[in-house]
């Protein structure tokens, strides 16, 4: 195991960062979130087709890059640093992982090409460790009815992957009613997805915990990117902002706070990289549940540790960033509020910190408190 980035990962990072710097500046993000179409699908097509991030987790024989969770984590770090409004987490991570688990071959090739976008129809706040309340049912004629609230990525998906019981159904998005609802994170809208006699195709057996835990482990890398941007931007600001004829960064109290934040981010990087490394699964074939590296208890434990720590660090660093920026940090024009909202919304995404800590205790076989 190594927590260091490989040369290939750094090259991937450079490609994604350069594209985001050119196409996803803060002015463009602010303008987009004020519109009716927060997601930048043109940017997503470029990322998916030209850089190939849509198929990172897909084996080469199915048109993907044959990469692993480590490479996907690097992309998520950069997307977090830019609060990029693209459906990478929902389509290229969650939906793709679900398809890999059920052994689906045709749709996975469409996702890998970047031509099709999918969404896993579960609430973004769904916890890997607790059973979901069943809100979609299958009729005698095989059609689906019901609704799921708080689904991320559904409004830009071509295909919906709907878990019902232990089965995963494929439903074309045009056969569902998708209504975007207000969300704290303006760059990642959520929607209510409703079905009324929608035709669905059974893809196979589906283990929600495994897929959601995988997503939570990689979401930690996005949270790391959010925290890194906030720390670096705040450090640059306190070096330039003067009070009493001195940079405010020279005040001892500010130095102590920044040192604490730096230590938090370093620990978050270690946790996120550890999770990505252990979640890195063999990509030489499409396999049903139990064949990938994410199945092990060590990988799930690492994901729970990363989910617990990184979510709280991202929020804390973002809050400190707003405060240390002073008045300018409270304005709409400064992008720090986008990071605070992303950090707060992702804190409860795919399991709240408390749920992850409970999972850590269970997986590490820690004794219950007296």
Q: Which fold has domain 208-363?
A: Butyryl-CoA Dehydrogenase, subunit A; domain 3 (1.20.140)
pTM for the complete prediction? 0.91
Q: What is the pLDDT of residues 309-341, one digit of tens each?
A: 999 999 999 999 999 888 888 888 889 999 999
The two beta strands, 118-120 and 159-164, are parallel
Q: What is the pLDDT of residues 103-143, one digit of tens each?
A: 888 899 999 988 899 999 999 999 999 888 888 998 888 89
What's the pLDDT score for residue 26?
87
Q: What is the pLDDT of residues 212-259, one digit of tens each?
A: 999 999 999 999 999 999 999 999 988 887 777 787 776 888 889 999
Q: Which sequence spans correspond to the domains of the chain?
A: 7-117, 136-205, 208-363
CATH homologous superfamily, domain 7-117: Acyl-CoA dehydrogenase/oxidase, N-terminal domain (1.10.540.10)
Q: What is the pLDDT of residues 188-202, one digit of tens each?
A: 999 999 999 899 899
């Amino acid at each position: 195991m190594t927590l260091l980035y490989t040369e290939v990962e750094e090259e991937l990072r450079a490609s994604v960062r350069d594209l985001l710097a050119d196409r996803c500046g803060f002015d463009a993000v602010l303008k987009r979130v004020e519109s009716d179409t927060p997601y930048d699908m043109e940017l997503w097509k470029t990322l998916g087709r030209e850089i190939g991030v849509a198929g990172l987790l897909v084996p080469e024989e199915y048109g993907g890059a044959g990469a692993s969770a480590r490479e996907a984590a690097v992309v998520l770090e950069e997307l977090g640093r830019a609060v990029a409004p693209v459906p990478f987490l929902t389509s290229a991570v969650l939906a793709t992982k679900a398809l890999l688990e059920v052994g689906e071959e045709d749709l996975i090739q469409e996702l890998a090409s970047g031509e099709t976008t999918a969404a896993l129809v579960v609430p973004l706040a769904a916890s890997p460790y607790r059973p979901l309340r069943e809100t979609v049912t299958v009729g005698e004629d095989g059609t689906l009815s019901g609704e799921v609230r708080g689904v991320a990525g559904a409004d830009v998906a071509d295909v919906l992957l709907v878990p019902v019981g232990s089965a995963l159904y494929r439903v074309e998005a045009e056969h569902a009613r998708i209504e975007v609802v207000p969300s704290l994170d303006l760059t990642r809208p959520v929607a209510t997805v409703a079905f009324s006699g929608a035709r669905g195709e059974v893809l196979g057996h589906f283990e929600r915990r495994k897929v959601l835990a995988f997503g939570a482990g990689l979401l930690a890398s996005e949270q790391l990117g959010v925290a890194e941007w906030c720390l670096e931007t705040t450090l640059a600001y306190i070096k330039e902002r003067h009070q009493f004829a001195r940079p405010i960064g020279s005040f001892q109290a500010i130095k102590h706070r920044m040192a604490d934040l730096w230590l938090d981010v370093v620990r978050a990087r270690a946790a996120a990289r550890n999770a990505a490394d252990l979640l890195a699964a063999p990509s030489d074939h499409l396999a049903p549940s139990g064949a990938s590296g994410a199945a092990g208890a060590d990988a799930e434990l690492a994901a729970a540790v990363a989910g617990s720590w990184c979510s709280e660090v991202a929020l804390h660093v973002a809050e400190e960033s707003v405060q240390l920026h002073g008045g300018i940090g409270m304005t709409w024009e400064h992008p720090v509020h986008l990071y605070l909202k992303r950090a707060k919304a992702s804190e409860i995404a795919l399991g709240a910190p408390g749920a992850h800590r409970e999972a850590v205790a269970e997986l590490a076989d820690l004794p219950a408190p007296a």
